[in-house]
């Protein structure tokens, strides 16, 4: 297929595809799916070999967020029956992180619900970072605390944070349909503050919220321009009790096309398969490893994920290998610009897609698999052992 040959050539040269080419990837048929995956896989292997980076989430503060993000189970007015608790103590955060590191994670992502941290919150997170680094000297720590105020990114870096996550989530044109309590520009500004402080920027999206193909291409092109080191790709988890509970628009094939398009647009960036992979990719998760080079291990913020050992088995069975702690994640040209892991010394938070053109999805959307959405009941904030 001429399109795929062109995209592979551009990916190997780190050349930006055209919008038309990106849209064409999303419009390919299921009959062409393996060719699309194989083509994007060539780009993935050029820059990342067969390595898979493991990341582990620690939810420092769960629920009761004042923001109204429609996709989120922690949002204002959410009726989702999730775990709700206030800040973990530093030793609790360190203990939670240890489970992920023991499972092979080289990055720990510290996440807290809310619009953004107060200065006291930054102190709390700084103490947690210091406790984790003291116990695991080589581990990367990424913070995800919402919108940042002046100087907070610098303080997090001084405390030892390597990265900061703040996702764009969707296109600028549709952002107001998803969230009204802050703006798309607010999110861009926070990512830029993190970059200015020398933190490795981590920013991605959520697919499956009813957006069009054009919306998906818009947000991915915006991410390419923003130039984060890592791009987490979440597939909407339609929690009961949230406004998007009925948005079951994704097929495994659709998810793979989205991941392939992102890899072509962001060829040398850490593309991370994040929340919702078990719900929407299901048995086709191993194919996605040909497109992404990073995943979350175990559970997510408020939902349960695949068992950690199952993740490790999947990676090995698919012919990939877990990235070691001493390995630099990013290609040399990116790592030299920002640090070994894409951070200053070497990206986060997960929380599907009705096609704009029916011809893009020749097969029907399957029935909603609400049985696959499991609220997290273990790990941080509970007395039960985590899944890692």
Listed range (123-132, 144-153, 210-219, 368-377) with the worst mean pLDDT: 368-377
pLDDT greater than 50 at residue 363: no
Share of the chain above pLDDT 90, in %: 77
Q: What pLDDT score does 366 carry?
A: 64
* 3-state class (DSSP) for residue 214: helix
Indicate the pLDDT class of residue 359, thresholds 50, 70 and 90. Answer: very low
Rounded mean pLDDT, 287-292: 98
The pTM of the full predicted model, rounded to 2 decimals, is 0.88
Handedness of CA 88, 92, 94, 99 (dihedral sign): negative
Residue 260 Cα to chain centre, angstroms: 15
Q: What pLDDT score does 202 carry?
A: 98
In the annotated binding site, the residues are: 65, 69, 72, 109, 142, 202, 272
Indicate the pLDDT class of residue 368, thresholds 50, 70 and 90. Answer: confident
Q: Distance between CA 7 and CA 22 in Å, rounded?
A: 9
So where are the chain's domains?
Answer: 18-372
In the annotated binding site for [2Fe-2S] cluster, the residues are: 109, 142, 202, 272
pLDDT greater than 80 at residue 276: yes
Listed range (25-29, 228-232, 285-289, 355-359) with the worst mean pLDDT: 355-359
Indicate the pLDDT class of residue 313, thresholds 50, 70 and 90. Answer: very high
Instruction: Dump strand ranges (E) for the chain.
Output: 51-61, 107-112, 140-144, 163-165, 200-202, 205-207, 230-235, 270-273, 294-296, 321-322
| pLDDT 10s digits, 259-273 | 999 999 999 999 999
Q: Distance between CA 262 and CA 269 in Å, rounded?
A: 10
| pLDDT 10s digits, 330-342 | 999 998 665 444 4
Rounded mean pLDDT, 157-183: 96
Q: What pLDDT score does 338 carry?
A: 56
| pLDDT 10s digits, 27-53 | 999 999 999 999 999 999 999 999 999
Positions marked active-site: 65, 69, 72, 109, 142, 202, 272
CATH of 18-372, one of 3.40.1390.10, 2.60.40.420, 3.30.497.10, 3.20.20.70: 3.20.20.70
In the annotated binding site for [4Fe-4S] cluster, the residues are: 65, 69, 72
């Amino acid at each position: 297929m001429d399109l795929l040959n062109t995209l592979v050539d551009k990916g190997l040269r780190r050349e930006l595809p055209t919008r038309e080419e990106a849209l064409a990837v999303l419009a390919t048929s299921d009959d062409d799916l393996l060719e699309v995956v194989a083509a994007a896989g060539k780009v993935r292997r050029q820059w990342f070999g067969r390595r898979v980076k493991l990341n582990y989430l620690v939810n420092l503060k769960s629920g009761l967020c004042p923001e109204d993000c429609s996709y989120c189970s922690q949002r204002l007015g959410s009726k989702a029956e999730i775990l709700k608790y206030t800040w973990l103590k530093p030793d609790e955060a360190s203990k939670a992180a240890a489970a992920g590191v023991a499972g092979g994670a080289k990055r720990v992502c510290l996440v807290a619900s809310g619009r953004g941290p107060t200065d006291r919150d930054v102190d709390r997170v700084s103490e947690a970072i210091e406790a984790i680094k003291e116990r695991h000297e080589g581990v990367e720590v990424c913070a995800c605390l919402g919108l940042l105020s002046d100087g907070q990114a610098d303080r997090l870096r001084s405390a030892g944070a390597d990265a900061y996550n703040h996702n764009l989530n969707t296109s600028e044109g549709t952002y107001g349909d998803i969230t009204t309590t802050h703006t798309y520009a607010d999110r861009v500004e926070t990512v830029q503050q993190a970059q200015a402080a020398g933190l490795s920027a981590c920013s991605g999206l959520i697919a499956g919220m009813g957006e069009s193909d054009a919306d998906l291409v818009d947000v991915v092109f915006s991410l390419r321009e923003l130039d984060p080191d890592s791009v987490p790709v979440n597939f909407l988890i339609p929690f009961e009790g949230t406004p998007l509970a009925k948005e079951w628009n994704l097929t495994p094939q659709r998810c793979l096309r989205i991941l392939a398009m992102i890899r072509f647009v962001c060829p040398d960036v850490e593309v991370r398969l994040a929340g919702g992979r078990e719900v929407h990719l299901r048995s086709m998760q191993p194919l996605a490893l040909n497109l992404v080079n990073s995943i979350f291990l175990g559970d997510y913020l408020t939902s349960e994920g695949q068992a950690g050992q199952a993740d490790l088995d999947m990676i090995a069975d698919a012919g990939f290998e877990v990235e070691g702690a001493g390995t630099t994640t990013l290609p040399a040209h990116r790592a030299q610009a920002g640090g070994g892991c894409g951070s200053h010394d070497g990206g986060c938070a997960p929380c599907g897609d009705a096609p704009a053109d029916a011809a893009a999805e020749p097969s029907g959307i399957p029935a909603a698999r609400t049985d696959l959405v499991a609220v997290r009941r273990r790990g941080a904030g509970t007395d039960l052992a985590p899944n890692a």
